[in-house]
Structure 1
């Protein structure tokens, strides 16, 4: 059985039920209802201000829209597939409340600019929330880092032991990544903060609307200068999905490290019961579920970015029904990023603990201080490349004899090069190795303390601006 739709008299027959279901977006664009109501209220107020409708009609429309908002919040307004989308659902209910006046709401606008307005209002709100989460994430990292300035951790390149680091320095790398994410979203916000309301279907309208007034009511910083661009632009959605993907790249990298650190082979962290689970058949297991899920969900957001790029690449101007597909990707990416940020912040704050004794043991059981032997010789006047080659010989000698650099006797050192003296032992001690790297941006303890202060000041400033 077919069902009649509220189209113009251009159509003689109703839409096929299967096509009606296929065509409908109400199942997901209900997410936009609060924003649709807010945008419609601003549009009604603009229509009244410009004299397109009377002040009394404007008041009736606003009152009706606010009633729908309350009905939705009370669980009394639950439109189904027959409404097709949230815009028709609201307009239909408004007409039930306000009568023929409700039919005047859509004057001077199209669903094309309406949905663009709703989605931008939604994303502005979500960007603000995600930026606040990024600040909280940084705050937890900084709290941990402040307690581990002089805790050492092996540093890696190619997943091979490279040089020892301050654990705080390692964590501060993720603070810097999160700060770039925060800044990037702030830049994208500016391009989301442009109102398409009043662009119409594609060409504007003959009614004497005031687009700047409605934009001002909605808090938009700008209005689109071109109506075609206003209804068809999705650059801001692509940019957001790109930024969301980068956020999850950063979270996934940290997740991978935590997974490694929690393994028996590394043993750098202990997972608490509040953020890990066990095995259904192996009672000894404690699994790093949170970082594994974050690592897995990252690909999901990457897919949304790729999907949006493919969606847009062949669309002629202006609006095409393909653009209905932007919302599910956007909604899911927002939900995923927010969920991952929340989970990782909780994991860092209360789900894991660093094992300082194991970390100290780890930095003392390898050759990650080999570069410092070369640096030591260079300070004695030996050309660095010559010193570098010599240290390779020293390491080979140690491996052959089953020793570490610290285990060599002074006689063995001096047999390798006469410039080695008793102070070589202090020069290659892990704590000394780390402390000595005081170049700007380095892992030296004094540099790390300065970096911590700078990051804390920056975080406090960002929070005060939010």
Structure 2
């Protein structure tokens, strides 16, 4: 391991303690490393603006930071156990190449605000990916709600209940993912604040140009209070995980539906071959493994959320406990986003079995229609309900699924899906995203 940034003369370092302190930090920092380099370059430029490094030193440092990023991307530079973490790797590389100029790069900066700004930039990128995935899923659902209106059973308590349609099913998940997109956008706006320049949580006796680094790094605003910058670590990660969890929770319920619908007992849906696997022993099997792992992905996100929340039983100021939050967010977003990003392709290519769905619509599923029709004709609803219950087995005589769906005129019902309103909401999300990218 290279020289430690904090090492003091005369203090012997116990390698067992160092292994415990470092943990998997250097591996996790591979996720953050490019963001750390970008933030380091902005910090160097800020130091040049207040005369703490010369213009020549700033240019040389920026050049070497760009070279380090290129080497990291190509694999020529590996962030490994030679370094305590990504921060020390950056400083070691700059010092090796530039001598004293490299030793200046940490001026006015703590590893506390260094990890804050790198993880904040990383979280922004993850939330942008979440926004894109949810928006794409909503788009596919809307397209298929327009195109598909096949009758299918609607269930409550996993029991056949009323006549529904594939359009209603898709519209329901379209609205879910529209709301998930909005929540992710709101969360992105919440965390879009620059902590660089807050140092160890109490500022420094230098006139750092924090407004410049805020603009340079693409943050929407400055996180003003150094104490709040530390208080927000974990809090902002938790907010991001909650936004992810909301979307993955909807994914879990959708995956549950598909898990049931693809069974031979239902037979409503055929999955594309690319989303299934074979059995290692049973030649006849095609298993919906992708759907099942989509369903399971919520567990990883919920676990990450729980771990970060438990870490936040802390006083103000930086505490080393927060190091463990890195692994949680990397693992949670890694699994949750990878599942969500596969969903649009699955939704676009799944095929409904119209005959199986129609065959599962039994006569008693029209009993609610009978009761409502009687109530609309003036019969007190409870009387109409009892009469329909007594004749439920024959409720479907002379009725068709299409007629039942056409009569469902309540807003959001099969005859009035309000797809145009959902389209307008989706378009609004699109405009917000364009504003984000501008």
TM range (shorter): over 0.9
Aligned pair in 2 of structure 1 residues 11, 297: CA closer, same or farther (>3 Å)? Answer: farther
Distance across 2 between alignment mates of 1:387 and 1:360: 27
Aligned pair in 2 of structure 1 residues 11, 389: CA closer, same or farther (>3 Å)? Answer: farther
- SS of 1:371 mapped into structure 2: helix
Distance across 2 between alignment mates of 1:457 and 1:8: 55
Contact 2:367 2:396 in 1 (8 A): no
Q: CA deviation at 1:11?
A: 4.5
Contact 2:79 2:89 in 1 (8 A): yes
2:229 maps to: 230
- SS of 1:112 mapped into structure 2: helix
> Could you give the per-residue CA deviations for residues 18-40 of structure 1, whole angstroms, max 9, x where no partner exists?
22222221111121111011001
What is the total number of aligned residue pairs between the two structures? 430
1:248 maps to: 248
2:412 maps to: 441
Q: CA deviation at 1:261?
A: 0.5
Distance across 2 between alignment mates of 1:329 and 1:437: 46
2:13 maps to: 15
2:436 maps to: none
1:190 maps to: 189
> Could you give the per-residue CA deviations for residues 236-283 of structure 1, whole angstroms, max 9, x where no partner exists?
110111111111110010000001111111111122322112223333
- The answer for unaligned runs of 5 or more in structure 1 is 399-403, 408-424
Q: CA deviation at 1:7?
A: 4.4
1:263-342 equivalent positions in 2, closer than 5 A = 263-312=263-312, 314-342=313-341
- Give the counterpart of 1:368 among 337, 343, 365: 365
1:418 maps to: none
Contact 2:134 2:247 in 1 (8 A): no
Distance across 1 between alignment mates of 2:386 and 2:428: 48
Quick check: which has more Rg, 1 or 2?
1
Distance across 2 between alignment mates of 1:36 and 1:16: 28
Are 1:393 and 2:383 counterparts? no
Distance across 2 between alignment mates of 1:9 and 1:40: 22
- SS of 1:162 mapped into structure 2: strand
1:200 maps to: 199
Q: CA deviation at 1:460?
A: 3.9
Aligned pair in 2 of structure 1 residues 165, 187: CA closer, same or farther (>3 Å)? Answer: same
**Which range moves more in the overlay, 48-57 or 297-306?**
48-57
Aligned pair in 2 of structure 1 residues 7, 120: CA closer, same or farther (>3 Å)? Answer: closer
> Could you give the per-residue CA deviations for residues 126-171 of structure 1, whole angstroms, max 9, x where no partner exists?
211221111211222223222213x111111111122111211111
Q: CA deviation at 1:75?
A: 1.4
Normalising by structure 2, what TM-score?
0.94
Q: CA deviation at 1:53?
A: 2.1
Distance across 2 between alignment mates of 1:147 and 1:271: 18
2:124 maps to: 124
Distance across 2 between alignment mates of 1:368 and 1:380: 20
